[in-house]
Structure 1
């Protein structure tokens, strides 16, 4: 029994040494017994899926489609695998139970050997969860899975960089709005996770360029001008905050990194803060210039008409609080606790 515990401890310590994004160390026995309810709920959820089979697909497509159209529904269902493998990695991290590591191994290998990147960042934004799962478990995975996953992440990251770099400058259209934020997130997470210096330098360069292209000096974003919706401000900023968290684990402060124009991610979060606190309100999509927004409103999808609900920014501000503690009161006002995955991954707000 003592030998088994020692082996588990050694495995989790080795994995921790390789981790980049998630800061939480493995829990001790006493901590597991008295774990936060959100942590317990996450572990229990993963436990209920231990015998699931991966639903890996060669292609996903949800961007620009409604439920019932094309492969939208199949894609949404398959994408649940990505969150599950992230949560399984976190459950393993929290408990040391090898069953969760084996689930990550099965699902990760199935996806990285099946999926073919399309380089559509809206379709692929949820691959952040796959990258996180690899990030937390890489040193404990079988060599076959580790090598396949590392190669997949390198391919996806390099492909996005090449796609952005071949565009005409100054960047415009979807290479300036929220699509680019999601590209930057995937590039940053991939580059820092596999610790490829060439890719990291490209991520730094493209992040700074995008901050200048997307965020005005007053903190407003291109997406707000185009969509007249705070929905798209949060959708724009959350991937950038996630990218900044990946950079922070490598001692880079992207929150206050200035573009040539002087724009910063911090200014954009500050611009959104009065809306998040409810001191300012906004009716969504009234002046949107994108036809698909009207299509979704007419289809009755929630959030595409009426006043913006500040609670939709809860996860964004809980993530931002991990960069700067001054966002913590805003986050806690929007939701008393962060999403379960974040509670395990980064349990404490920054100072």
Structure 2
């Protein structure tokens, strides 16, 4: 496996520079502004978002030096400290998006304040289950990166690059370790990929795409099941494995890359097959008792800790698949009916943002 030096230089892609594929791009922001002027339902949903963003102007960043969620039981002090700190992620994203919608500099300055605070305090430990929580921070950076002053931008980019490099060089990535091929690797690829696209770093992008191909081949099976489902006997982990792969596949598609949704590995596995395998369980045509035959001690520990949903024999609930459905619709609009059967037809603010990306996908592929 290729080893990246810690001193890697961030290189912008010489021929194809990606503006925003992690977040909404300029054209999508323009369309959203128009929608907010002309659509009363969208205006109502936006009002709640705007109120929250305004309140965030009065709040202070609350970063942690190390994110700690993986392997810790509910109630663990380190996990609780991290939970409180991670509230900053949504605040950063809201401030960044509100800046782009309002052009009001105070939202930009506050978002940069949050990003810089995390960049100066947080040190990655190469654990993708922890680092996957930075998703909205990367999106926030992607939204405002052209307007950040050089010194602050350098600080933020160094932090993001260090996070990606620590994942690539992590001992958890070494061949022979389960964490190199299970859901950990799916989250690792998503983390490195989204940072790669946000920073226009060709090395990160190439590494991610190469490893996504091998991950689909090793982690997913031709019948639609996954390594994580086999190990955990839980739809929860099949979903937790697919979600980061879908997020990454959307970014790659928005950058005019391979369609990794329908891409089939040499053994015939694909993300699409693994999404479709879920559908009968989401529709209620099939049922599954979660964790009955899990091989992982942590699952049993969480059950003993009385954490909701982890007791062996807990019936799978279709709403747990909502994150996968909402992402898969980007590639397969026919799944909208399945989504609505679980989630209803009521619109949400995040649903509006997702729809903008789906509409761009239709236009791009026509």
Q: 1:98 offset after TM fit, Å? A: 2.8
2:3 counterpart residue number: none
Count of residues in Structure 1 that have an aligned counterpart in Structure 2: 333
Q: Which residue of 1 aligns with 2:152?
A: 145
From 110, 129, 136, the counterpart of 1:129: 136
Residue 217 in 1 paired to residue 222 in 2?
Answer: yes
Which of 56, 77, 93 is the aligned partner of 2:84? Answer: 77
Instruction: Give the distance between the partners of 1:270 and 1:39, measured in 2 at CA.
Output: 33
Q: Is residue 291 from structure 1 mapped to residue 300 from structure 2 by the alignment?
A: no
Residues 39 and 343 in structure 1, CA contact (< 8 A), matched pair in contact too: no
Secondary structure of the residue that 1:213 maps to in structure 2?
A: helix
Say whether residues 1:63 and 2:32 are aligned partners: no
Q: CA deviation at 1:289?
A: 1.1
Q: Which runs of 5+ in 1 are unaligned?
A: 1-16
**Which residue does the alignment assign to 1:175?**
180
Evaluate the alpha carbon distance shift between residue 342 and residue 89 of structure 1 in structure 2; reply closer, same or farther with a 3 A threshold. Answer: farther
Aligned to 1:18, the other structure's residue is in SS state coil
Deviation at 1:25, TM superposition (A): 1.6
Residue 191 (structure 1) aligns with: 196
2:319 maps to 311
Q: Residue in 2 aligned with 1:98?
A: 105
Distance apart, 1:242 and its partner CA: 0.7
Residue 5 of structure 2 aligns with which residue? none
After superposition, the C-alpha distances for 1:10-48 in whole angstroms (9 at most, x for unaligned) are: xxxxxxx83222342234367247335433322222222
SS at match of 2:289: coil
Q: Is the 8 A contact 1:62 1:123 kept in 2?
A: yes
Contact persistence 2:220–2:269 (CA under 8 A): yes
Report if the CA contact (8 A) 1:281-1:307 is conserved. Answer: yes
Q: Is the 8 A contact 1:18 1:138 kept in 2?
A: no
Q: Distance in 1 between matches of 2:210 and 2:282?
A: 30
Contact preservation (8 Å) 1:228, 1:285: yes
Q: Distance in 1 between matches of 2:194 and 2:86?
A: 18
61-70 or 270-279: bigger deviation: 61-70
Q: How far off is 1:97 after superposition?
A: 3.2
Instruction: Calculate the TM-score normalised by the size of structure 2.
Output: 0.84
Aligned to 1:25: 29
2-structure distance, mates of 1:156, 1:124: 8
Structure 1 stretches of 4+ with a deviation exceeding 6 A read none
- Alignment deviations for residues 179-237 of structure 1 (CA, whole Å, 9 cap, x no partner): 11110110111111211112211111011111111100111011111111111111111
Q: Is residue 276 of structure 1 aligned with residue 282 of structure 2? A: yes
SS of equivalent residue, structure 1 residue 64:
coil
Which region of structure 1 is more displaced relative to structure 2, 313-322 or 115-124?
A: 313-322
1:48 paired residue among 36, 48, 55: 55
For 1:227-238, what aligned pairs fall within 5 Å after superposition?
227-238=232-243
Matched, 1:158 2:165: yes
Aligned partners of 1:36, 1:327: CA distance in 2, in Å? 27
* Structure 1 residues 206 and 231, CA gap change in structure 2 (3 angstroms): same
Structure 1 counterpart of 2:246: 241
Compared with structure 1, are the counterparts of its residues 322 and 166 closer, same or farther at alpha carbon in structure 2 (3 Å cutoff)?
Answer: closer
Aligned to 2:9: none
Distance 1:119 1:158, change over 3 A: same
Q: Which runs of 5+ in 2 are unaligned?
A: 1-17
Task: Give the corresponding residue for 1:4.
Answer: none
CA contact (8 A) 2:164 2:192 kept: yes
1:331 aligns with 2:335: no
Aligned to 1:347: 356
Cα distance change of structure 1 residues 135 and 235 upon mapping to structure 2, 3 Å threshold: same
Match in the other structure for 2:209: 204
